[in-house]
Structures are given as C-alpha cells and as structure tokens.
Chains A and B, each alone.
Chain A
C-alpha cells in the first residue's frame, strides 16, 4: 500500500524549490488586491525612476501668469496641465511625479533600516530569553511610551532636515514594531522540534538562530516590512508638512499638502492631488503587506 502511494507521489513530483516558489506566487496572484496593489507600486517605482522623462513640465518651473490653473476638464483649464498648477504656476502633476522619488526612497530605505535593527534585536531577545530578552523588552516598552511624531521631529531637529535624517528618524522610532513581532515569532519557533533536531545534528545556537529560525520568521517579516513602507510614507509626509523633511525646492507630497492647505479656497487641487497620491500609496503598501502575509504563511498555505 505504501509502495503504491510512493509511486503515485513520485509520478506527480516536479522540481520542488521551483514548485514551492510557484505555489507561493500563485497564492499571491490569486488575490486581486495584491495584483492591484503590487501593480500600483511598480507603477510608482517606474514614475520615480523615469520622472524626468515622464513629467510633462519641470516641477520647479514657475510661471506666475498661469498660476492656479484648474485640472483638465474644469472651466479655465489649459491643455498640458492635467492636474492644474499651483499659485506659483508650477505643474501639479509633474511635482506629484517627482514627489514619488522622496516618498519611495524613504519608504524602502527606512523600512529596511527599521527592519534590520528590530529583527536582530527581536531574534536575540526571543531566542536567548533571560537578561537579553528583559533588556530588549524594557527598551521596546520605554520606546513606545514616546509620542512617535514628536520624537521624529526631535530627531530631525537635532540632525538637521533632509532625507537622511527622515530615514534615521523612522528607523529609530519604528524598529520596535519589528522587535516585538520577531521576538514573539522567534519564541514560538524556538520551541519547535526542528530546533531540537538541529541541536542533535550538531548545530550551535547562532547557526540555529540564523539558519533555521530566521527563514521561518521571514514571511512575517516580509509582510511587516511592506506595511512599514506605508507607515514610512506617512511619516515622511508629516515631516514634510511641518517643513522638517527635505528642502523646499525638492517636491514632496507632504510639502505640497502644506502648500495647498494655504490656498485651499483658491486651488483645492493643489491640496487634493498629493493627498490622493499619499492615500493610494499607503493603501497599496498595506494591501500588499496583508496579501504577502497570507500567501507566505506556511501554516495558512497548508
């Protein structure tokens, strides 16, 4: 009976590393929201990379004679200015496209930096327990007691404005999210039989932590990084809004929102366009993160 089962399975067999990746990919693509969210983020990346080619105008080009032009389709709109212009006559669409550069740079770099810091601390806390865990856990608790926005403003104020300070601020504030989740996940994984088995097979603790446990924590981590990217986009926008991000001659969504707020009664689109972009981007990151979590979780997959 067992032989029959074996032969049957063997007949079905295909190259499994591929098979596994494909099955995870299939689970991902089966979710429409992942396709849309992922597609949207790919589009944003392309916009950021090819901004000079795609943008119809120079985002800094002022033309006071054609200030506060409404978007296409509204009365008084001028061709070539699809989303209208701001009070200085700068093309809103072009500024929006250039704004993706800062947004995405911050999203990717800051999320990875926060993930790196939080994951390492979380892995050690969850695996070694005891004093290591106590120190990391207390640190996380203290950290979370700070109001995040005020803390980030403080960090940027100390370091000086600029993309680098924004990234450092986000990493320093948000590593706790990763530390908490990775710690809990590591604790759960560390109790698994495969960890005991690895010890019998002669592996030391560090090898077990990084070779055996980390790959099993990775799916959760990947989802969390994606969610963190959405958060990073928001934090960058907040810091731009209060004027603490990059200098004002680089277009950012937060900066545009701040500028649009002042002229909202004359030109609402200057305010609405970056807000919509921000909203869509954060939503896309969140949906993608959620989809990744569902598709990569080995338990859910089974």
Chain B
C-alpha cells in the first residue's frame, strides 16, 4: 500500500443556526432559567477518509451538502468541532486556524479556488500574486524569488511577459494559471481544488485539467478535487467521495462508484448526467427537498424523504458507512442488495 498523506477521522463541524442571541436576550434567558442551547447546523457530520500520497480523490455532492465547509476545515481555515486531521505524522486539528497561518506546515496544504478572477487580489500583478506565498511561506527574496516565480509560471504555462499584468488584464484561462501557479509555487503535499474549472469556458477547461494532471505527475502532489462535474471527476480521480447533508454516503474507486453506484443518492447523481446513448430508460429523479441540516435526528437516514426506496427502517436507524469489496464503502441499508 502507498503511504497515507491525509487522514481525516470522525471530523465534524457544527455552526450555531441563525443569529446568536444578543446580550439582553441571553441575560433574559438566563434569568428565565433553563439551559442555553442553540440549534446547530450539522455542516460536516462524522466524516472519515484518507488521501494517499500521489492520489487524486474526488469530492462530489450537491450545493449545501457541506463540501465547502469540509474543504475549509481541512485546509485549516475553520476549526473543526470534533475529530482529527492528520497530515503525515502531524495532527493539525489542535492548532487553531488563526495560528495555523504562521505554521510551518501551512505550505503543505494549498488550494486552488473556483474563480481566479476573484481569488487573486485585483490590486496585485500576476508576479506579485505568485511571489506572495513564496515570500511568506518559503522566505524567498531577490533573485531566488524571481527565479522561483518564473519557474512556477512557466511550469503552469503562463508566458513570462504576462507576469507584470493585473488579473483584469488576463483572460480567464490565464487567470486560472496564475491561481494554480500561486498554489503550486510553494510545492505543497496536498492541493485542494475547489471546482477549479467551473468558471472557465469548456475549451479552456480541458487545457487546465491537462495542466493539473501534468503538475501532479511532476510534483508528486495529492489532489482533493471538489466538483459537481461527474464526468471530470470520473476522468481525473482515483477515488471518489460522495457527500450528502454533511455525511459521506458512498466512497470507492471512481470508475466502480459511477458504473455501479451502491447508494441511491449516487445513483440519482449518475442518472442526472446527460448521456448521448440513452436507451430510452426512465431516469431516476429525486423529488422533494433535502432534510434540514439543523439538529438532524441521529436515527433517521439523511436521505430519507427523498430516497426512492425509503422504508420504515430508514427513519428509525441511521445506516452506517460499511465496507464492500473493491475498497468501496456505502451507507445504505440496501447497499448489500444493490451490490449483488
């Protein structure tokens, strides 16, 4: 087996729902008696997974399923409510997010954002944008810095003449390259890609995806690839995690998961991808709204209510994430039946 780079164990992130009560309301509540318990949003709930060195793991799920929160917790921008984040031998969850900015391991986890037009400061030139992390995280300056910036830029296919430009003077594809060059310049171990191509034209998307593939080979990074473009995930990722309402409902090798999904939610996701050779079979469609993420009942399956095969058992017992042959996992009472 390959070595594990990132080990996430029983990670949870809960937010207080709604506005926290003001000081007067809090005081009144205290005098009225009774414990002060605010409703909570379970954005990420008991999530465990690993990413091996050099592996590309896809993270898919609909908007609001907790992908972004999970990403922000494991890039150490948010502190987890519970659970562990282990990078190599180092446990990161004990270092508060505020202090992690100055941590020596900050450079090991980097991120590429969805829209480089917004994630690169409009007042910085491409050179400054790429130089920033090198100065900050690697302490480079002078010729060393210039050399490294140019190396990162050319590695990412950004012509050096463009380094003196500001983001709004670059095309979407060039901006994306700046965003990628900035993240890989410090040579991270783990690169989190948050829908890196969602803001790009289809023709440019392909080029950027090829670039990402090449960079991974050259630099030996691991990727966590967040996307809701299933075909891209299938193409690029070794393994995939399917998330629904804060929980991982299915995981496994990308090809196997998409070809033979075990969880009804994954089945619906796969069915929602338009395909050219559809044989007229009716698509699996989801109806209804997702359950509320606010103080969810721990004994009801999160998918209950939208699931086409929900039964009484689904609202009295939360299905656990269980292992299946081929390195797969699924959290559905009927996954064994589906697997056969």
Q: Is A26 an interface residue (CB 8 A)?
A: no
Q: Which of A120-128, A196-204, A269-277 contacts B (4 or more CB under 8 A)?
A: A196-204
Q: Which of A1-9, A43-51, A240-248 contacts B (4 or more CB under 8 A)?
A: A1-9
Q: Is B132 an interface residue (CB 8 A)?
A: yes
Chain B positions within 8 Å of A193 at CB level: 113-115, 118-119
User: Do A197 and B165 have beta carbons less than 8 Å apart?
Assistant: no
User: Do A13 and B168 have beta carbons less than 8 Å apart?
Assistant: no
Question: Which listed residue (A10, A16, A201) contacts B166, Cβ 8 A?
Answer: A16
A6 to B207, CA, bound (A): 12
Q: Is A20 an interface residue (CB 8 A)?
A: yes
Question: Taking the nearest CB of chain B, how far is it from the CB of A181, in angstroms?
Answer: 18
A199 to B137, CA, bound (A): 11
Q: Which of B6-14, B40-48, B102-110, B330-338 contacts A (4 or more CB under 8 A)?
A: B102-110
User: Do A216 and B122 have beta carbons less than 8 Å apart?
Assistant: yes
Chain A positions within 8 Å of B249 at CB level: none
User: Do A201 and B182 have beta carbons less than 8 Å apart?
Assistant: yes
User: Do A204 and B168 have beta carbons less than 8 Å apart?
Assistant: no
User: Do A201 and B133 have beta carbons less than 8 Å apart?
Assistant: yes
Chain A positions within 8 Å of B72 at CB level: 196
Question: Which listed residue (B101, B110, B113, B159) contacts A10, Cβ 8 A?
Answer: B159
User: Do B164 and A202 have beta carbons less than 8 Å apart?
Assistant: no
User: Do B165 and A13 have beta carbons less than 8 Å apart?
Assistant: yes
Known: A20-B169, A201-B182. A196 touches B101 (CB 8 A): no
Q: Is A133 an interface residue (CB 8 A)?
A: no
A204 to B103, CA, bound (A): 11
User: Do A10 and B162 have beta carbons less than 8 Å apart?
Assistant: yes
B113-128 vs A, Cβ < 8 Å mask (1 yes, 0 no): 1110011111101000
Q: Is A17 an interface residue (CB 8 A)?
A: yes
A238 to B137, CA, bound (A): 55
Q: Is B173 an interface residue (CB 8 A)?
A: yes
Q: Is A192 an interface residue (CB 8 A)?
A: yes
User: Do B77 and A17 have beta carbons less than 8 Å apart?
Assistant: no
Most buried by B among A19, A198, A215, A302: A198
Q: Is B269 an interface residue (CB 8 A)?
A: no
Name the CB-closest residue of A to B157.
A6
User: Do A16 and B106 have beta carbons less than 8 Å apart?
Assistant: no
Question: Taking the nearest CB of chain B, how far is it from the CB of A182, in angstroms?
Answer: 16
Question: Taking the nearest CB of chain A, how far is it from the CB of B96, in angstroms?
Answer: 12
Q: Is A290 an interface residue (CB 8 A)?
A: no
User: Do B207 and A302 have beta carbons less than 8 Å apart?
Assistant: no
A19 to B126, CA, bound (A): 14
Q: Is B203 an interface residue (CB 8 A)?
A: yes
Name the CB-closest residue of B to A194.
B121
Question: Taking the nearest CB of chain A, how far is it from the CB of B103, in angstroms?
Answer: 8
User: Do A200 and B75 have beta carbons less than 8 Å apart?
Assistant: yes
Known: A6-B174, A10-B161. A196 touches B169 (CB 8 A): no
Known: A2-B203, A196-B77, A199-B77. A17 touches B164 (CB 8 A): yes
User: Do B174 and A9 have beta carbons less than 8 Å apart?
Assistant: yes
A175 to B108, CA, bound (A): 43
User: Do B168 and A200 have beta carbons less than 8 Å apart?
Assistant: no
User: Do A197 and B111 have beta carbons less than 8 Å apart?
Assistant: yes
Count of A residues near B, CB < 8 Å?
32
Chain B positions within 8 Å of A212 at CB level: 121, 123
Chain B positions within 8 Å of A198 at CB level: 121, 132
User: Do A298 and B121 have beta carbons less than 8 Å apart?
Assistant: no
B69-111 vs A, Cβ < 8 Å mask (1 yes, 0 no): 0001001010000000000000000000010011000110111
Question: Taking the nearest CB of chain A, how far is it from the CB of B209, in angstroms?
Answer: 12
Most buried by B among A5, A9, A215: A9
Q: Is B26 an interface residue (CB 8 A)?
A: no
User: Do A203 and B136 have beta carbons less than 8 Å apart?
Assistant: yes
Q: Is A15 an interface residue (CB 8 A)?
A: yes
Q: Is B286 an interface residue (CB 8 A)?
A: no
Known: A9-B171, A16-B169, A193-B115. A202 touches B136 (CB 8 A): yes
Question: Taking the nearest CB of chain B, how far is it from the CB of A59, in angstroms?
Answer: 46
User: Do B171 and A298 have beta carbons less than 8 Å apart?
Assistant: no
Question: Which listed residue (A9, A196, A197, A215) contacts B123, Cβ 8 A?
Answer: A215
Chain A positions within 8 Å of B169 at CB level: 16, 19-20
Q: Is B145 an interface residue (CB 8 A)?
A: no
A13 to B126, CA, bound (A): 13
User: Do A13 and B118 have beta carbons less than 8 Å apart?
Assistant: no
Chain B positions within 8 Å of A17 at CB level: 125, 164
Chain B positions within 8 Å of A199 at CB level: 77, 101
User: Do B137 and A13 have beta carbons less than 8 Å apart?
Assistant: no
User: Do B98 and A196 have beta carbons less than 8 Å apart?
Assistant: no
A212 to B166, CA, bound (A): 14
Chain A positions within 8 Å of B98 at CB level: 204-205
Q: Is B232 an interface residue (CB 8 A)?
A: no
Residues of A near any B CB (own CB < 8 A): 1-2, 5-7, 9-10, 13, 15-17, 19-20, 192-194, 196-205, 212, 215-216, 298, 301-302
List, sorted by A's number, 27 A–B pairs whose CB atoms are closer than 8 Å: A2-B173, A2-B207, A6-B173, A9-B159, A13-B159, A13-B164, A13-B165, A15-B164, A16-B125, A17-B125, A17-B164, A19-B169, A193-B119, A194-B122, A196-B72, A196-B113, A198-B132, A200-B183, A201-B110, A202-B102, A202-B133, A202-B136, A212-B123, A215-B121, A216-B123, A298-B122, A302-B168
Question: Knowing that A15-B164, A204-B98 are A-B contacts, what are 10 other residue pairs whose CB atoms are under 8 Å apart, sorted by A's residue number?
Answer: A10-B159, A16-B169, A193-B115, A196-B77, A198-B121, A201-B132, A201-B136, A201-B137, A202-B133, A216-B122
Q: What 10 A-B pairs are tightest by C-beta distance, nearest first?
A: A193-B119, A215-B123, A201-B133, A193-B118, A16-B165, A197-B119, A194-B121, A202-B106, A16-B164, A13-B161
